[in-house]
Amino acid sequence: MVFVKVAWGCLIKVKNEGGLGLVDLVHQSKALLGKLLVRSMQPRPELWKVLLRNIADLWCPRDGGPWQAKVVQSNSKVERTG
């Protein structure tokens, strides 16, 4: 069995241009992330956006949640004694 070493640039070229037509995973992942970013900026309320927003609110509530109230209370106690 003989293995031939071929440059990556030749492997990812389209078959019409003399390549093997393999998908370049780095470029494909960058393109998909860009597509996701563009879609996330559009104002339409899609289900996946609503779910991500709800999950983000659980992890980082916009009002600060109960932990922020404790910090404010502890800071006010420190200010009174100081």
Q: What are the pLDDT digits (tens) for 1-13?
A: 777 787 878 878 8
pTM of the complete model: 0.44
Q: What are the pLDDT digits (tens) for 60-71?
A: 766 665 555 555
- In sequence order, what DSSP letters do the residues of 1-55 get, joined into one string? -------HHHHSS-GGGTS-----HHHHHHHHHHHHHHHHHS----HHHHHHHHH
Question: What is the average per-residue pLDDT within 38-67?
Answer: 77
CA distance 8 to 19: 10
